[in-house]
Amino acid sequence: MGTIMTIVCAGFSLNTGLQLGWMWQMLQEMWPEYRKICQNPYGEIALRSYGPVARTALEIMICFAQLGYAVVLLLLAAKNASVLFHFFLSVEINQCYLIIVVALLVWPTTMLRSPANFWQIAWLSTASSWAAVVLIVIGVLHDAPVCQKDVQHDPTDLFKSFMSYGSMVFAYAAHSSFPTCQHDMKRPSDFSYSLILTWAVISVYYLTVSYLGYFVYGSSIGDSIISSIQNVTLQQLINLMFAIHVASTIIIASSPAFLMFENLAKIPKNFNIKRFFLRSFVFLLVTLTALTFPHFGPMINLLGSSVNSLLAMILPTAFYLSLRTFQLKWKVDKKRKELPTFGEIFESTPKAILAFNCISMTFGLLAGIISTISAIRTFSNSSLPPPCYIQYFSSGLPFSSQNGTISCCGTYRNLTVSQADPNGFCSFRNI
C-alpha cells in the first residue's frame, strides 16, 4: 500500500508541477508583462484562471504553507544540531535553545531577493541530501545481517495508509516555489525536463530508503530511519548532512512568501530597509511558531494533508483546465478578457484529459480530508510537548534523552549489531 501511495502521489504531483510550468509559459505568451520581473508568479496564474479572489486566497495559502514548511525545517535543523552537539562535542543542549541559534544563523541569508540570487545554496542542499541517502543505504546494509533475523511488521491497515498521505504530499509539495524558480531560469522552457528529472531522482530516494527500512528494521523504526542505524559515527554523519540540507532549504522555502509580502507592501525590488524589517519580522514569527510547536511530526502531517494538498494536488489542475480553455479562446479572439465558464471548460477539454485531472483532484481531496482529520486529532493529543517557553518557566529546558540513542531492531527493540548491551544503547519505546 505504501508503494502504491508513493507512486500515486509522485505521479499526480508531477502532473500538477508540469501544469504549473505550462501555465507560466501560457501567461508569458498571452501577457508580455510577465516576461519581466514578477514577484508572485503562482498568484498571477490564479488571477488569470479564476480572478482576483482566487489570487488572494492562493496568496494566503502560500504564506501558510511556505512559512509552515520553514517552521518544520527549522525544527528539523534544531533537532539534528542537538544530536550533533551531543555526539561530537559532548555538549548537551536542549532543542529549544538550538531553534533560536539556527534561526539567528539563517536569518541574514533570508535577505537575498529570490532563488536566482542564491542558486549556490540549492546546489549545497542537493549535494547534502544526496550524500545523506547514500550514507543511509550503507548504514542499513551494515545492520541487515543482524536485524533481518527478527523483523516485525505492523498489520496492514488501509486507513493508516491514508494517514501517511500528509507526509507523502509534504515530501512532494514544493509547488509554491515552482513558478518563481521557473521565472528565474535562463531557459524557462526547460523547466519540464528539470522537474521530471528531479521527481525521478527523489522518488528513487524515497522508495529505496522505504524498502530498506521496511525489510531490515520493520516496525522498530521510530520517527526517522536515521535513529535505527546502529553505526553511530555513520548515523551522525547522516544527521550532519540533513542539518546542512534543511538549513539551506529554509532559505529557498521561505522565498515565495517573502516576495509575496513585499509585493503586497509595495516594497521596491532592490535591497532596502523596508525589506530588512519586513523579512526580519516574518522570520521572527516563523521562529516563534517553532518554539510554540517543538514537535515536527504532527505539523508535517497537518501541513501536507491540508494546505499543501490544495497547493500541490488540487489547485494547479483546476487552474490549468481554466487557463488552457482561455488560451484556446484567446487564439481565436486576441481581445478576449472574459474568464471561461465551467461549461466552456467541459466542452473544450478532451475527455481523457478531463477524466484524468478529475481523478487527480478527487484523490487529493478525499485523501487530504482523511489525513487532515487524523493530523488534527494528533495535534489535540495531550502527550505532545508544551511550547518551549512554557517548558522553560515550568521545568527548565534540560537536555533530555532516553536510555540510549539507537532505535534497536527486533521484536523487543533490543537487537544490537555490535553485540553491545541494549541497556544504555537502545532507546526503548512502548510496544
For residue range 255-308, list pLDDT tens digits in order: 778 888 888 788 887 888 988 999 999 999 999 988 988 876 666 666 666 788
User: Count of CB atoms within 10 A of residue 196's CB?
Assistant: 13
Average pLDDT for residues 165-173, to the nearest whole number? 80
Give the integer Cα–Cα distance in Å for 431 and 422.
Answer: 16
Distances, alpha carbon 245 to alpha carbons 67, 76, 253, 283, 300, in Å? 17, 10, 12, 19, 17
| Per-residue DSSP letter, 310 | I
DSSP H helical ranges for 269-350: 273-292, 296-305, 307-309, 315-332, 342-348
State the cell numbers at 94: 536542549
Average pLDDT for residues 129-148, to the nearest whole number? 93
| Per-residue DSSP letter, 314 | I
Give the integer Cα–Cα distance in Å for 431 and 412.
Answer: 8
Which residues make Cβ contacts (< 8 Å) with residue 158, sequence separation at least 6? 1
Lowest average pLDDT, out of 111-120, 179-188, 289-298, 320-329, goes to 111-120
- Per the listing, cell 541569508 goes with 109
Of the candidates 243, 208, 369, the one whose C-alpha atom is nearest the C-alpha of residue 304 is: 369
pLDDT tens-digit series, residues 203-246: 999 999 999 999 999 988 877 888 899 988 898 899 889 888 88
SS3 270: coil
Write phi, then psi, for 409 (nearest 5 degrees).
-90, 180
DSSP H helical ranges for 217-231: none
Instruction: Give 296 or 71, the one with higher predicted confidence.
Output: 71
Q: Is 425 exposed, middle or buried (0-12, 13-18, 19+ CB in 10 A)?
A: middle
Average pLDDT for residues 352-381, to the nearest whole number? 82
Answer whether 411's CB lies under 8 Å from 150's CB.
Answer: yes
pLDDT for the residue numbered 349: 93
Answer whether 397's CB lies under 8 Å from 403's CB.
Answer: no
SS3 39: coil
Between the two ends of the chain, the Cα-to-Cα distance in Å is 23
Give the integer Cα–Cα distance in Å for 370 and 251.
Answer: 31
The DSSP secondary structure of 151-171, one letter per residue, reads: ---PPP-HHHHHHTHHHHHHH
pLDDT for the residue numbered 16: 95
SS3 114: coil
pLDDT for the residue numbered 299: 64
